[in-house]
Amino acid sequence: MNMVRILCSGTAMAAALMAAPATAQTAASAGAQSAAAANSEDIIVTAQKREQLLIDVPQSISVVSGAALEQQHANNFSDYLKLVPGLQLSQATPGQGRLLLRGINTGGVASTVSVYVDETPFGSSSGLVNGAILAGDFDTFDVARVEVLRGPQGTLYGASSLGGVLKFVTNAPQMDRLEVRGRATVEAVDGGDTSYAGNAVVNIPLGSTLAFRASGTYRKDGGFIDSIGTAGSDVEKNINDSRVYGGRASLLFAPSDALSVRLTAILQNIEADAPSTVEADAFSLKPLYGRLSQSQFVPQFTDIRYRIYNGTAEIDLGFASLTSSTSYSTQDETLRSDVTTNLSGLVAAVFGTPNELFLAQQTNDEKFTQELRLSNQSPLFDWLVGGYYTHEKGEIVQEYVPVVPGSFTRITTLPLLAQVSLHSKYEEIAGFANATLHLGERFDIDFGGRYSHNRQHANQVGDGALAGGPTNNVASSSENVFTYSVAPKVKFDDNVSVYVRVAKGFRPGGPNVLPPNAPAGTPATYDSDSVLSYEAGVKAQTPDNAFSIDFALYHIDWKHIQLFAVVNDFGVNTNGGSAKSDGAEFTVTVRPTAGLNLAINGAFTNARLTADSSPLVGGLKGDRLPFTPKFSGAVNGDYRWSLGGSTDAFVGGSVRLVGDQPGAFDATFRAANGRQREVPSYSVVDLRAGVDFGRFALEAYVKNLGNSHGITSTSAVKANGFDIYPNGAIGTGIIRPRTIGLSFTAQY
Mean pLDDT of 365-380: 96
Burial call 144-173: b when 16+ CB within 10 Å, e when fewer:
bbbbbbbbbbbbbbbbbbbbbbbbbbbbbb
The DSSP bridge partners found for residue 525 are 511
* Backbone φ, ψ for residue 726 (5° rounding): -60, 150
Mean pLDDT of 641-669: 93
- pLDDT score, position 517: 73
Bridge-based pairing state of the strands 293-294 and 226-228: parallel
Answer yes or no: is pLDDT of 15 > 70: no
The 10s digit of each residue's pLDDT in 69-128 is: 988 899 999 998 899 999 999 999 999 999 999 999 887 788 999 999 999 999 999 989
Helices H / strands E in the chain, number of each: 5, 45
User: Looking at the chain, how many residues does it have?
Assistant: 748
* 8 A C-beta contact, residue 385 and residue 344: no
Answer yes or no: is pLDDT of 37 > 50: no
Answer yes or no: is pLDDT of 454 > 90: yes
**If residue 67 lies in a helix (H) or strand (E), which one and from where to where?**
helix 66-71
Give the span between the Cα atoms of 332 and 396, in whole angstroms. Answer: 10
Instruction: Output the CA–CA distances (angstroms, integers) from residue 328 to 103, 159, 453, in the order listed.
Output: 31, 17, 20
- pLDDT score, position 667: 81
Q: How far separated are the first and last CA of the chain, in Å rounded?
A: 18
* 8 A C-beta contact, residue 191 and residue 573: no
Give the span between the Cα atoms of 361 and 332, in whole angstroms. Answer: 11
Nearest Cα to Cα of residue 145 among 23, 24, 22: 24
Burial call 674-691: b when 16+ CB within 10 Å, e when fewer:
eebbebebbebbbebebe
What residue type is 739 in one-letter code? T
The 10s digit of each residue's pLDDT in 232-279 is: 778 999 999 999 999 999 999 999 999 999 999 999 999 999 999 999
Mean pLDDT of 279-290: 92
- pLDDT score, position 569: 60
Task: Report DSSP state, residue 79.
Answer: G
- pLDDT score, position 680: 95
Mean pLDDT of the chain: 89
What residue type is 267 in one-letter code? L
The 10s digit of each residue's pLDDT in 344-361 is: 999 999 999 999 999 999
Answer yes or no: is pLDDT of 11 > 70: no
* Backbone φ, ψ for residue 630 (5° rounding): -65, -35
* Backbone φ, ψ for residue 351 (5° rounding): -110, -5
What residue type is 80 in one-letter code? Y
The 10s digit of each residue's pLDDT in 662-690 is: 998 888 888 888 889 999 999 999 999 99
Up-side HSE of residue 627: CA atoms within 13 Å toward CB? 26
Give the span between the Cα atoms of 589 and 551, in whole angstroms. Answer: 12
Where does residue 700 fall: left (phi above 0), alpha (psi -120 to 50 degrees), or beta otherwise? beta
The 10s digit of each residue's pLDDT in 198-242 is: 999 999 999 999 999 999 999 999 999 999 877 777 899 999 999
What residue type is 576 in one-letter code? G
The 10s digit of each residue's pLDDT in 458-508 is: 999 999 998 888 989 999 999 999 999 999 999 998 889 999 999 999 999
Up-side HSE of residue 272: CA atoms within 13 Å toward CB? 19
pTM beyond 0.75: the answer is yes
* 8 A C-beta contact, residue 394 and residue 365: yes
* Backbone φ, ψ for residue 407 (5° rounding): -150, 180
Give the neighbor-by-neighbor strand order of the sheet with 226-228: 235-236, 226-228, 293-294
Domain ranges of the chain: 11-747
Which CATH superfamily, name and number, covers 11-747? TonB-dependent receptor, beta-barrel domain (2.40.170.20)
What residue type is 399 in one-letter code? E
* Backbone φ, ψ for residue 742 (5° rounding): -140, 130
Answer yes or no: is pLDDT of 295 > 50: yes
What residue type is 135 in one-letter code? A
- pLDDT score, position 4: 28
Mean pLDDT of 9-33: 32
Beta strands per DSSP E along 347-442: 356-376, 381-403, 418-439
* Backbone φ, ψ for residue 622 (5° rounding): 95, -20
Cα 358 from chain centroid (whole Å): 28
Bridge-based pairing state of the strands 722-723 and 356-376: unpaired
The 10s digit of each residue's pLDDT in 114-169 is: 999 999 999 999 989 999 899 999 999 999 999 999 999 999 998 889 999 999 99
| Helix, strand, coil percent values for the chain (each to nearest 5) | 10, 55, 35
**pLDDT-derived band at 42, boundaries 50, 70, 90:** low
The 10s digit of each residue's pLDDT in 697-725 is: 999 999 999 999 999 999 988 887 889 99
What residue type is 612 in one-letter code? D
All residues at 6 or more sequence positions from 429 whose CB lies less than 8 Å from its CB, including other chains: 387, 388, 389, 452, 453, 454
Nearest Cα to Cα of residue 556 among 583, 577, 532: 532
**pLDDT-derived band at 2, boundaries 50, 70, 90:** very low
* 8 A C-beta contact, residue 661 and residue 679: yes
* Backbone φ, ψ for residue 727 (5° rounding): 65, 25
3-state helix/strand/coil string of 604-615: EEEEEECCCCCC
Instruction: Output the CA–CA distances (angstroms, integers) from residue 420 to 17, 400, 407, 460, 465, in the order listed.
Output: 52, 9, 24, 7, 12
- pLDDT score, position 6: 27
